[in-house]
Amino acid sequence: MTGLPVQRAHELATCPEERRWLIEELWAAGGVGIVGGEPKCCKSFLALDMAVSVASGTPCLRRFRVPQRGPVLLFAAEDALHVVRRRLDGIAGAAGVVLSQIDIHVITAPTVRLDVDADRRRLAETVGELRPRLLVLDPFVRLHRVDENVSAEVAPLLAYLRELQRGLGVAVVVVHHARKGAAHARAGQALRGSSEFHAWGDSNLYLRRAGDDLSLSIEHRAAPSLPSLAVGLAVDGEQVCLEVRAAATSTDAAESVSVLENVERVLADADAPVPLATLRQLCRARTKTVCDALASLRRAGRIVKLAGGYALAQR
C-alpha cells in the first residue's frame, strides 16, 4: 500500500502577488464563490461587469484592476438573450470597449442542470474547449432541482464546480439569492439554503439594499477584505451599469450600516413596538442616525411605524 504524497512546508510553492487576483481586491485568481443578495439588488449587473472586465482587461466597476484578461463563459438562466446582449453592450460602453472585440461566450441552451450527469459533462467539455478564465452561472436556483436547504444535496453540486475550477483552471462565479428579510444577519449567513454556499467560496460578494441605498460587501478566504462600498446603477441613455459611488470608510457611513442592522435586530427580538428613544439607547447611536436608518427601512418596507413605536413589517 502506497502512502499519501507529502512535501515539507517550506518547499510548498508560493504565489506571486501579480497572480493572486482575477480582479484585484475583488475576486481571487481561479477562485470560486458567490455573488449574493436579495432580489432586485443588481447581482446580475455585478456578475456581467466582472465578465466584461475579465474579457477586456478593464477595471471592474471602473475601479478594480484586472491583471490579465482572458475569455469568459456565461450562462444567464433567467434573462432573455437580447436582454443579456443589451446589458453587456451598456457595460462594455461604460468600460470604453466594444462588445464585439472582447471574448465573452454565452451559453444559449435553454437549461443547464448541475444535478444531471449529461449536463455536467457538456459543461465540462465546453469549459475544456474554450478554456475561459471565468465562468459565470446566474442564478444557482435555475441550475438544479435539489433542495437547497439540504447540505447533502447541495454539496455535490458545489463540489463539481470546485472540480471544474481545479481541473481546468477556471474561476467560477455563482449568482445566488439571499433570504428575504435577512438584512439583520451577517451577509454570508443571509444566503438562501444550506450553509455550504458561504463555506464554499474563496471570494464572496454580497449586495444589500436599505431603501434607495445599495452596498457591496467583499469577503475572501485568504486575503483581507475591503470595507463595504456604496454602489448604484448609472444610467446614460441605453447604457446602464453598476458603479461605485463611495467607500463606506468614514465614521458616519460605518455607523449608518451598523445602525441599520442593529435596529432590525432590536425589532426582531421585541414583543411589542419599540419607541424611538428606546431604539436610540439600545443601538447606542445618535438620534439623527437612528432616524435616518428608520426612514431607509420604512422606504424598503422592512418596518412599520405604529402608535407605540416601530416594528418589523409582517411578511
pLDDT tens, N- to C-terminus, the chain (315 residues): 688 999 999 898 776 554 689 999 999 999 999 999 988 899 999 999 999 999 999 999 999 999 999 999 999 999 999 999 999 999 999 999 999 999 999 999 999 999 999 999 999 999 999 999 999 999 999 999 999 999 999 999 999 999 999 999 999 999 999 876 555 556 666 788 888 998 999 999 999 988 778 999 999 998 888 888 999 999 888 789 999 986 444 444 444 556 888 888 889 888 899 999 898 888 877 787 888 888 888 877 789 999 889 999 875
Return the pLDDT at 181: 59
Domains of the chain: 17-247 (3.40.50.300), 251-312 (1.10.10.10)
- Alpha-carbon distances, residue 65 vs 20, 159, 172, 271 (angstroms): 12, 29, 18, 48
Distance of CA 203 to the CA centre of its chain: 9
In the chain, the largest separation of any two C-alpha atoms, in whole Å, equals 75
From CA 93, how far away is CA 126, in angstroms rounded?
Answer: 28
Return the pLDDT at 252: 46
Residue for cell digits 446582449? 85
From CA 142, how far away is CA 56, in angstroms rounded?
Answer: 28
242 with 41: CB under 8 angstroms? Answer: no
Return the pLDDT at 251: 45
Return the pLDDT at 115: 97
- In one letter, which amino acid is 61? L
Query: Please, which residues bridge with residue 240 across strands?
Result: 235
DSSP 3-state percent helix, strand, coil across the chain (nearest 5): 40, 25, 35
Q: Which residues contact 239 (CB under 8 A, 6 or more apart)?
A: 89, 90, 93, 94
Return the pLDDT at 187: 60
Q: Whole-angstrom distance between the N-terminal and C-terminal Cα of the chain?
A: 59
Contacts of range 100-105, beta carbons closer than 8 Å, 24 or more positions apart: 102/52, 102/55, 102/56, 103/55, 103/70, 103/71, 103/72, 104/51, 104/52, 104/55, 104/71, 104/72, 104/74, 105/71, 105/72, 105/73, 105/74, 105/130, 105/132
From CA 269, how far away is CA 274, in angstroms rounded?
Answer: 10
From CA 271, how far away is CA 11, in angstroms rounded?
Answer: 59
